[in-house]
Amino acid sequence: MIKNIPKKYWDSGLFICFLNDDEDERRKICEDNFQHAKDGNLLIFTSYWTEVEVIRPRKKSLPFSEKLTPLQISRIQKMFEWEWIKKIQVDERVIKKAIELSRDYGIHPTDAIHAASAILSIPHGVDAIQRWDRDFSKIVDLIKVEEPTFITKQLSLISKPLVGPHPKDFEP
């Protein structure tokens, strides 16, 4: 019997929370989801565009010269190589859908790429787009939109090793 595994599309903000030391609670939620994905109980979809958005300076307030180092970029890229993260190509279909969403729903073009990727993945079983920001609320009639939550009902007193990166990995 094949179990029905939830399939969620993750916006870039869910990955970015691993880099920021001021997003501890969000990082814990995403870490819990990563653990379930690693264990085969969740499949995470995201766009190849997500990797581009995540690999940028850690804080908008940093001077432009303070970019992520090649080692830090490599750590982020390894996260996108995990087998439980399915990456969606940004192809002509995605671009055309993103243009439509940006025009008709007023979504920022970058978010429209994510929304289009998620919507076009519905036939492949994507249940919802998960995000931290509010812009996707404009498309709730096209795809379920939700914030990620803890999957584990009671977090173990014995901590499992972290799956995702931690902000300390990105300190100079």
Residue 68: the pLDDT is: 78
Residue-range definition of the domain harbouring residue 116: 7-159
Residue carrying structure tokens 């970019």: 67
The residues that bridge with 44 in the sheet, in sequence order, are 8, 85
The residues that bridge with 87 in the sheet, in sequence order, are 46
Q: How many residues does the chain have?
A: 172
Residue 66, C-beta contacts closer than 8 angstroms, at least 6 positions apart: 57, 58
Confidence (pTM): 0.86
Residue 161: the pLDDT is: 62
- At 36, list the tokens: 């379930």
Residue 142: the pLDDT is: 95
Side chain identity at 172, as an amino acid letter?
Answer: P
Whichever domain contains 86, its CATH number is 3.40.50.1010
- Collapsed DSSP state (helix, strand, coil) of residue 62: coil
Q: How many domains does the chain have?
A: 1
Q: What is the DSSP letter of 49?
A: H
- At 161, list the tokens: 């090793």
- Does 111 fall in a domain? yes
Answer yes or no: is pLDDT of 103 > 80. yes
Strand 128-130 and strand 145-146: the pairing is: parallel
- Does 2 fall in a domain? no
8 Å CB contact between 79 and 165: yes
Q: From 171, 130, 114, 132, select the one nearest 26 (Cα to Cα).
A: 132
- Does 165 fall in a domain? no
Kindly report which listed range (20-29, 59-68, 115-124) carries the lowest average pLDDT score. Answer: 59-68
Residue 71: the pLDDT is: 85
Residue 107, C-beta contacts closer than 8 angstroms, at least 6 positions apart: 101, 115, 135, 136, 138, 139
